[in-house]
Chains A and B, each alone.
Chain A
Amino acid sequence: MKRLLIPLKGDEIAPRFDLAPEVMIVTVTDDGEIAEQRLMVMAHASPESLCELILKEKVDVTVCCGIEEEFFQYLTWKKVRVIDSVVGSCERIVDCFRTGTLTPGTILR
Chain B
Amino acid sequence: MTSSQSAKVHGLLEQPIALSQFINEAPIGILVVDPELRVVLMNRALEALTGFVSSEVSGVPCCFVLRTNLCLDGCPVKNLTPQGGSICLESNILNKNREKIPVRVTTSALIGEKGRIVGYTKSVEDMRYLQKADGAGGRFSFGNLIGNSPEMQRVLRLLPAIAQTDSSVLITGQTGTGKDFVAEAIHNASQRSRSPFVKVNCGALPESLLESELFGHQKGAFTGAIENKPGRFRLAHNGTLYLTEIGDLPLNLQVKLLSFLDDQVIYPLGGSRGIHVDVRVIAATHRDLEGMTRQGRFREDLLFRLNVIRLQLPPLSQRGQDINMLIDHFLHHFNARFRKKIKSLSPRARKILLEYSFPGNVRELRNIIEFAVNLSDGDTIRSEHLSTYLKTPIPVQVEAETNPPIEKKEIVLETSHNSLNLDWAHVEREMIMDALVKARGNRAKAAKLLGLGRSTLWRKMKNYLIVP
Interface residues of A (CB under 8 A from B): 9, 13-16, 18-19, 21, 45, 65-69, 72, 84-85, 87, 105, 107, 109
Which of B56, B59, B67, B99 has most A Cβ within 10 Å?
Answer: B67
A28 to B356, CA, bound (A): 50
Q: Which residue of A lies closest to B95 (CB)?
A: A66
Interface residues of B (CB under 8 A from A): 56-57, 59-61, 63-64, 67, 69, 71-72, 94-100
Closest CB pairs A-B (n = 4): A66-B94, A69-B98, A66-B67, A87-B64
Q: Is the CB of A16 within 8 A of B71?
A: yes
A68 to B95, CA, bound (A): 8
Beyond the given A15-B72, A67-B94, A69-B97, please list 10 additional residue pairs across the A-B interface where CB-CB is below 8 A: A14-B72, A16-B67, A16-B69, A65-B64, A66-B67, A72-B98, A84-B98, A85-B96, A107-B57, A107-B60
Q: Which residues of B contact A84 (CB under 8 A)?
A: 98
Q: Is the CB of A68 within 8 A of B94?
A: yes
Candidates A19, A85, A105; contact of B69 at CB < 8 Å: A19
Q: Is the CB of A68 within 8 A of B98?
A: yes
A72 to B98, CA, bound (A): 8
Q: Which residues of B contact A65 (CB under 8 A)?
A: 64, 67
Q: Which residue of B lies closest to A17 (CB)?
A: B94
Q: A21-B72, A107-B56, A109-B59 are in contact. Are A15 and B64 (CB under 8 A)?
A: yes
A69 to B100, CA, bound (A): 9
Candidates B56, B59, B63, B97; contact of A15 at CB < 8 Å: B63
A19 to B70, CA, bound (A): 10
Q: Is the CB of B67 within 8 A of A15?
A: yes
Q: Is the CB of A16 within 8 A of B99?
A: no
Q: Which residues of B contact A87 (CB under 8 A)?
A: 60-61, 64
Q: Which residue of B lies closest to A108 (CB)?
A: B60
Could you count the A-B residue pairs with CB atoms below 8 Å apart for me: how many are there? Answer: 46
Q: Which residues of B contact A18 (CB under 8 A)?
A: 94
A-B CB contact pairs (8 Å), 17 listed? A15-B71, A16-B69, A16-B72, A16-B94, A18-B94, A21-B72, A66-B98, A68-B99, A68-B100, A69-B97, A84-B98, A87-B60, A87-B61, A87-B64, A107-B57, A107-B64, A109-B60
- B53 to chain A minimum Cβ distance, whole angstroms, is 11
Q: Which residues of A contact B100 (CB under 8 A)?
A: 68
- B347 to chain A minimum Cβ distance, whole angstroms, is 32
Q: Which residues of A contact B96 (CB under 8 A)?
A: 85, 105
- B59 to chain A minimum Cβ distance, whole angstroms, is 6
Q: Which residue of A lies closest to B50 (CB)?
A: A66
Q: Which residue of B lies closest to A70 (CB)?
A: B98
Q: Which residue of B lies closest to A18 (CB)?
A: B94
- A15 to chain B minimum Cβ distance, whole angstroms, is 4
- A73 to chain B minimum Cβ distance, whole angstroms, is 9
Q: Is the CB of A9 within 8 A of B98?
A: no
Q: Which residues of A contact B98 (CB under 8 A)?
A: 66-69, 72, 84
A5 to B454, CA, bound (A): 37
Q: Which residues of B contact A66 (CB under 8 A)?
A: 67, 94-95, 98
- B255 to chain A minimum Cβ distance, whole angstroms, is 31
- A78 to chain B minimum Cβ distance, whole angstroms, is 15
Q: Which residues of B contact A21 (CB under 8 A)?
A: 72
A100 to B61, CA, bound (A): 25
Q: Which residues of A contact B57 (CB under 8 A)?
A: 107
A105 to B72, CA, bound (A): 20
Q: Which residues of A contact B61 (CB under 8 A)?
A: 87
A92 to B456, CA, bound (A): 44
Q: Which residue of A lies closest to B99 (CB)?
A: A69
Q: Which residues of A contact B94 (CB under 8 A)?
A: 16, 18, 66-68
Which of A14, A16, A68 has most B Cβ within 10 Å?
Answer: A16
